[in-house]
């Protein structure tokens, strides 16, 4: 059984299915609504990029910088806000972050030209990682230790469900009512989250002794750095493949472009299943589950070299990759909360900085092999290699852990 470090909250002592767990359902659902809003916002820009670029008068490559600006906001905002906000009561911090997210999306919808829009997307990304960090800590504090993994994965489930429901709905809205309507819809979701957290989430004080120096101390912990590196490299393998899934469907599998949404739906379903499964696996055995997810992703990405040549097998391979990747994300989140010690806020928030760096790394390396003329299956092989490197980093973490425990042995 995995035991997280203290969350600064009284630990419930009831059974996993007891009254304390049932009372946590609505607060966790309120926090998950926020992750649903964030997930919808993060990925809807990709589906509406042609409409957005026409609306502000720039070309597609220039418009792509809007996606990069949001990712940069996540990478910067997660550690900075987590460190600065560590002393704040956790519910108040979650409310403030979601209010800032609402403001960022309202500014996006109101932006009159490209430069303003670029700044608005950066601002919208700043609360992303810190919100997931504080929401994960609140959720973990509401349930018995035996099911903290499931509580954290339930919060992150909103992000996975967004790929299946939120992103398609907001994209449809943006295509029919104008791209600004999509961001107004996200702002409405953010407002509903603020209201839900205010009404349903109990007061949650900060951890005793929390502060900037304590939080930044996590960056001196080798286990934290190795876990972050595992996320950047290992999870980058999935994005090496997924970033180029549309041309893989048409040019390798020989399917029509109308089949691409089917593959994207399979990716979303795999993400939901993997997120739900990841919490349960983490509660049973966190580190082995983390290693198993990385190994499974490496294997599926390697098999993609064959699976990509058939539409049916491609769907199954994409679904399996998304499931393995989502288990990996949940386990990384819990692993960082475990190894960060007193700096749990920063540890929990940094996971999303690592994942956004993984996105950039995977897409960049995948593009390099395609540009070199290796074809659209080559990024999957690159992805498998990145997953293996992630496993090697995880192995180094295991060796270090054994050395750290050795002096304490009788």
Question: Same domain, yes or no, for 331 and 386?
Answer: yes
pLDDT tens profile 282-318: 999 999 999 999 999 999 999 999 999 999 999 999 9
Question: Same domain, yes or no, for 131 and 168?
Answer: yes
* Mean of pLDDT values over 395-405: 86
Question: Same domain, yes or no, for 259 and 375?
Answer: yes
User: Is residue 225 one of the residues assigned to a domain?
Assistant: yes
User: Is residue 22 one of the residues assigned to a domain?
Assistant: yes
Q: Which residues contact 166 (CB under 8 A, 6 or more apart)?
A: 36, 37, 39, 40, 44, 189
Question: Same domain, yes or no, for 186 and 137?
Answer: yes
Question: Same domain, yes or no, for 62 and 89?
Answer: yes
pLDDT tens profile 234-254: 888 888 888 788 788 888 888
Question: Same domain, yes or no, for 184 and 315?
Answer: no
Q: How confident is the model at residue 258 (pLDDT cuts 50, 70, 90)?
A: confident
Question: Same domain, yes or no, for 372 and 259?
Answer: yes
Question: Same domain, yes or no, for 65 and 51?
Answer: yes
- Is pLDDT at 104 greater than 90 in this prediction? yes
Domain count, the chain: 2
pLDDT tens profile 138-148: 998 899 988 88
Q: Which residues contact 48 (CB under 8 A, 6 or more apart)?
A: 171, 174, 175, 179, 182
Q: Which residues contact 60 (CB under 8 A, 6 or more apart)?
A: 49, 50, 53
User: Is residue 2 one of the residues assigned to a domain?
Assistant: no
Where among 155, 187, 206 does a domain terminate?
206
Q: Structure pTM?
A: 0.82
Question: Same domain, yes or no, for 197 and 216?
Answer: no
Where among 206, 238, 263 does a domain terminate?
206
Where among 173, 206, 239 does a domain terminate?
206
Question: Same domain, yes or no, for 136 and 87?
Answer: yes
User: Is residue 410 one of the residues assigned to a domain?
Assistant: no
CATH, residue 55: 1.20.1250.20
Domain residues for 253? 209-405
Measured in whole angstroms, the distance separating CA 121 from the mean position of its chain's CA atoms is 17
């Amino acid at each position: 059984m995995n035991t997280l470090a203290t969350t600064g909250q009284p630990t419930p002592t009831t059974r996993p299915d007891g009254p304390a767990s049932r009372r946590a359902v609505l607060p966790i659902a309120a926090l998950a609504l926020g992750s649903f809003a964030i997930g919808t916002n993060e990925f809807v820009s990709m589906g509406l990029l042609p409409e957005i670029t026409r609306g502000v008068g720039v070309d597609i490559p220039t418009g792509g910088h809007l996606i990069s600006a949001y990712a940069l906001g996540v990478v910067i905002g997660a550690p900075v806000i987590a460190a600065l906000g560590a002393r704040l009561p956790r519910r108040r911090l979650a409310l403030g972050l979601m209010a800032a997210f609402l403001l960022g999306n309202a500014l996006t919808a109101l932006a009159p030209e490209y430069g303003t829009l670029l700044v608005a997307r950066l601002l919208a990304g700043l609360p992303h990682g810190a919100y997931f960090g504080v929401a994960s800590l609140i959720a973990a504090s509401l349930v018995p230790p035996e099911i903290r993994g499931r509580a954290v994965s339930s919060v992150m489930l909103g992000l996975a469900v967004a790929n299946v429901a939120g992103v398609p709905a907001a994209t449809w809205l943006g295509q029919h009512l104008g791209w600004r309507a999509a961001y107004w819809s996200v702002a409405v979701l953010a407002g509903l989250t603020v209201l839900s957290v205010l009404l349903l989430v109990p007061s949650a004080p900060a951890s005793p002794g929390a502060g900037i120096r304590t939080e930044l101390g996590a960056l001196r912990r080798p286990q934290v750095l190795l876990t972050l590196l595992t996320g950047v490299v290992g999870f980058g393998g999935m994005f090496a493949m997924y970033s180029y899934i549309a041309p893989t469907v048409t040019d390798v599998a020989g399917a029509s472009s109308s089949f691409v949404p089917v593959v994207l739906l399979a990716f979303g379903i795999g993400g939901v299943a993997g997120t739900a499964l990841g919490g349960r696996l983490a509660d049973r055995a966190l580190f082995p589950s983390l290693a198993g997810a990385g190994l499974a992703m490496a294997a599926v990405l390697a098999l993609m070299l064959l699976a990509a040549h058939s539409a049916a097998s491609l769907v199954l391979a994409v679904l399996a990759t998304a499931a393995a990747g989502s288990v990996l994300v949940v386990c990384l989140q819990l692993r960082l909360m475990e190894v960060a010690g007193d700096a749990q806020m920063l540890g929990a928030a940094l996971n999303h900085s690592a994942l956004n760096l993984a996105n950039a790394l995977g897409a960049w390396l995948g593009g390099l092999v395609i540009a070199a003329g290796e074809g659209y299956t080559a990024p999957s092989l690159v992805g498998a290699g990145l997953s293996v490197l992630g496993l090697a980093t995880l192995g180094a973490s295991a060796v270090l852990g054994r050395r750290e425990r050795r002096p304490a042995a009788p």
